[in-house]
Structure 1
């Protein structure tokens, strides 16, 4: 009897052990659910990040349970380009998706990463904003709508669910009437903003909206608890770019690029957590929102594809920490621009490829904000200090900031000999980045589309034979430093076989000024008949400013003809109208005609149609 009991006990122990091993294997093979909570137009102005004016208990509690990253950058300081990089794991300048609300094709090998999760068995939902600069292909989402939710998946199916809050968007900060909850008198006004009641009111309303967004986060986390999924779901909260106030959103300063990133990993999936993970831990690892795509694949057990430029920061396929973060500013709504930024753990370097433009150049949407309006009015009245006034002046070609001593980035050290080594190191890092990622922003937007033909922009970018990017970059770099000694080389570039080289050469002569343009007047005038709109418009800009009366007349006629989208397309029309606006009174002879050029038709993507209309209104306003 005793032997029989002993045998039964041994058999039971073996069965229990087998069950335990099987359960362990099942857990090892189990995949986590992933819940993304994103918010628009807000930086790390949260209590967990040290902002005492912020009231966000749900996010602060999430940070106390998980890890918060303190050095996180968006790939662009505005929503559509930033989200374009997030959804692909590839920089928007490499896929051609860098210009605001453009619609460029996305093709192999680049894909939107939720499709890879879906193919691996995940249920993928998005509620609700996409706002990518590429049309969303079929197969990315099981559902993308205002009602999309993990609750509609198959029983037991792992999910990747995205909930995007628009509560903190720029447009909500300026809504009136609004009764402030946060005291305007208690907010911190950054040194670049004038300290006025209007500015304080906007900042206070921003904090109110953060609290409203936090309540939405609390509701989603409560749903997770109610469904019994909290123990099996990794939660990731992030902001898509910085605060929706001027010199924040749209600019490559900390207020525009710094974003919050909080990650909570439940105990059963702790093996997937970031290095150093623990409750309430703050990580100073450099992280780009570009890294979210490969990271989500990694935690799902999927090796990120080689074409992804992002770097996973958790899961079995996590990569080494970054040495640099990079970001870019390109066409913002209706106005042309190109600036690039790079930072390490301490220094921020910005390279402005349109130094002739002011940071505060007129943008219709931005000027709806009370802060923008009062700031501009004080500039017009001559009542700003030097730091505040810099926003309305032409940009420096280079900017360098020590973020350890100057977190608002208001003291430009680029001209300080004491920082020459740091400047050189940052220059070299940015150059390597632009060439390594094959930055298509070096092409005028219309040029990118004309030369790609039937290919995707990404395919064009990676074709080193068809796109001499290093030569284009060298010309753009020389052109935008405004050195009179470069005039002869730039004049020679007017005859280059590549249209982007011709474009930057013409712009460079215009930036050097009247003397350089007059010496090169004949080849510039020849460019007015160039087959490519970019060089044609740049030459017209130069001669309209510094040419003789006949050259000015011909230049304005060229701009007016190119402003009609039916000639060279919508992007060429935007480029020409943008220059007409920038010319100011010099464009008076064609102002009336330019204000009534044809509106884009249905052959132009809907998201881009409004920009010609905005430019026409700006022309009419002088």
Structure 2
């Protein structure tokens, strides 16, 4: 039953956005000859590559699979840091975490580099109307659902923060490995409530509402970002999506002890001991719940794309679909994120750039989240900030055989506070993954994806002439990549107090 509080909240949000649209959405003169006038950015939370278009035979994701057929699918796309806050700040500034200074959750780049233009802010300054629905910057999920979270007001004209039954009603019914803990603990619920009352479904409906109003102003370019909360824990989805996935068919990882014998201790760090003790039945239920949440999120993506098509906006809109980072489902005995293995660092990435991407194309060269900001700027003819650290992917979209930079860098921290903290850095080329922990002092890893796509055989200690040459080359490449991830002065900015003052000046 919908509560009075829920109705009041919905009414207030509706009135708020109506006022904003009435005052801000006015016809603008196009500033570019590009056929792409608008940007639709869709990001999932804690989504790995459990998608049909990435070859997962258990996935039920028809809408994302259909989107992949419309544009380019990047097979080797990687986050810069496998944790929500650092990754999202990196994506939205086009800078590596060593340059944003954001290397943990509950922080935002305005505390370190307050004058930096965010991606949506850059488009705002060029005449775009920028809207956000849901989670783009970091949120504490589920407790911050329905709020602005750790958002950046300077990035948007319009912010919509719905909260559905999964946040407002169902939490007492959620099964959790640790009672009353949901956000960072494996937890799930097969919901009896109608799909339309769940947060992500409300967001899809909100996106339809926003797009319908954008369609009334054809000369006003827009940047619409939709951040879905699923499949982040708690894995809550309507029962129908659970019924799509048979727990008996879930893939459970075995022989973990043998796999871990040649892996450095730092690579296996996990503070989630409750996950290490799951029996096989519980593991299958958790896997079913994750896949169900992915399918539920997929359905919401389909609703937004259908709206874009119905309104005649698809031919003039760049579409991005990605996740903030990957996600472990038991590989190497790990769950969730914060590792440098493929499952944690790799992300899905689909780009649909009308007139540029080849429908159904697959890009094999490694790319990074920091590449998205310059890509959208080039695709729309928008001038980017001068200090972006990624490469534009537009030419690769035109010719998927191009190599571009040829590598992707991911980093993570270990050791807790500053005095004991050290970094792990991993570089991914088309064939290899090479990882150093604490500059190699606490371990080195080398995996050959040509013969070992699951990264089960660490070759770092194997001595052959060919491997020695490979390791030396990758070590040099890794150090060059790390150096390039810092700002021009070589110093990671310090995190200061909150600075919410939006930067709305034309800052280059």
The alignment status of 1:307 with 2:387, answered yes or no, reads: yes
Q: Which residue is 1:212 aligned to?
A: 296
Matches within 5 A, 1:591-610: none
Q: Which residue is 2:489 aligned to?
A: 463
CA distance in structure 2 between the partners assigned to 1:91 and 1:109 by the alignment: 16
Query: Cα deviations across residues 96-150 of structure 1 (Å, max 9, x unaligned)?
Result: 1122333452437632121111111111111121335997555321112225734
Q: Which residue is 1:339 aligned to?
A: 424
Residues 462 and 317 of structure 1: CA distance in aligned 2, closer, same or farther (over 3 Å): farther
- Aligned counterpart for 2:130 among listed residues 124, 130, 134: 124
Q: Is the 8 A contact 1:114 1:140 kept in 2?
A: yes
* Cα RMSD, aligned residues only: 3.6
The alignment status of 1:414 with 2:442, answered yes or no, reads: no
CA distance in structure 1 between the partners assigned to 2:456 and 2:254 by the alignment: 8
The alignment status of 1:66 with 2:64, answered yes or no, reads: no
Q: Is the 8 A contact 2:75 2:348 kept in 1?
A: yes
Query: Cα deviations across residues 360-390 of structure 1 (Å, max 9, x unaligned)?
Result: xxxxxxxxxxxxxxxxxxxxxxxxxxxxxxx
CA distance in structure 1 between the partners assigned to 2:85 and 2:349 by the alignment: 19
User: Aligned-pair distance for 1:330?
Assistant: 2.0
Matches within 5 A, 1:49-128: 49-103=54-108, 105-107=111-113, 110-128=116-134
Report which structure shows greater RCO (CA 8 Å, sep ≥6).
2
Task: Decide which structure has the larger Cα Rg and report it.
Answer: 1
Q: Which residue is 1:327 aligned to?
A: 410
CA distance in structure 2 between the partners assigned to 1:93 and 1:198 by the alignment: 38
Q: Is the 8 A contact 2:46 2:230 kept in 1?
A: no
The alignment status of 1:291 with 2:371, answered yes or no, reads: yes
User: Aligned-pair distance for 1:331?
Assistant: 5.7
- TM-score of the pair, normalised by structure 2: 0.66
Q: Which has more helix, going by share of residues? A: 1
Consecutive unaligned residues of structure 1, counting only runs of 5 or more, are: 1-24, 357-395, 439-460, 470-568, 572-602, 607-622
Q: Which residue is 1:458 aligned to?
A: none
- TM-score of the pair, normalised by structure 1: 0.55
CA distance in structure 2 between the partners assigned to 1:604 and 1:355 by the alignment: 34
Matches within 5 A, 1:318-467: 321-330=404-413, 336-353=421-438, 396-418=442-464, 419-438=467-486, 462-463=488-489
Q: Which residue is 1:163 aligned to?
A: 226
Residues 41 and 317 of structure 1: CA distance in aligned 2, closer, same or farther (over 3 Å): closer
Query: Cα deviations across residues 560-582 of structure 1 (Å, max 9, x unaligned)?
Result: xxxxxxxxx9x9xxxxxxxxxxx
Q: Is the 8 A contact 1:247 1:255 kept in 2?
A: no
Residues 241 and 159 of structure 1: CA distance in aligned 2, closer, same or farther (over 3 Å): same
Residues 187 and 138 of structure 1: CA distance in aligned 2, closer, same or farther (over 3 Å): closer
User: Aligned-pair distance for 1:337?
Assistant: 4.9
Q: Secondary structure at the match of 1:285?
A: coil
Q: Secondary structure at the match of 2:454?
A: coil
CA distance in structure 1 between the partners assigned to 2:150 and 2:108 by the alignment: 6
CA distance in structure 1 between the partners assigned to 2:497 and 2:125 by the alignment: 33
CA distance in structure 2 between the partners assigned to 1:315 and 1:112 by the alignment: 23
CA distance in structure 2 between the partners assigned to 1:294 and 1:340 by the alignment: 23
The more displaced of 121-130 and 298-307 is 298-307
The alignment status of 1:172 with 2:235, answered yes or no, reads: yes
User: Aligned-pair distance for 1:415?
Assistant: 0.5
The more displaced of 134-143 and 119-128 is 134-143
CA distance in structure 2 between the partners assigned to 1:88 and 1:282 by the alignment: 26
Consecutive unaligned residues of structure 2, counting only runs of 5 or more, are: 1-29, 140-148, 162-205, 257-275, 500-508
Q: Is the 8 A contact 1:238 1:262 kept in 2?
A: yes
Q: Is the 8 A contact 1:169 1:244 kept in 2?
A: no
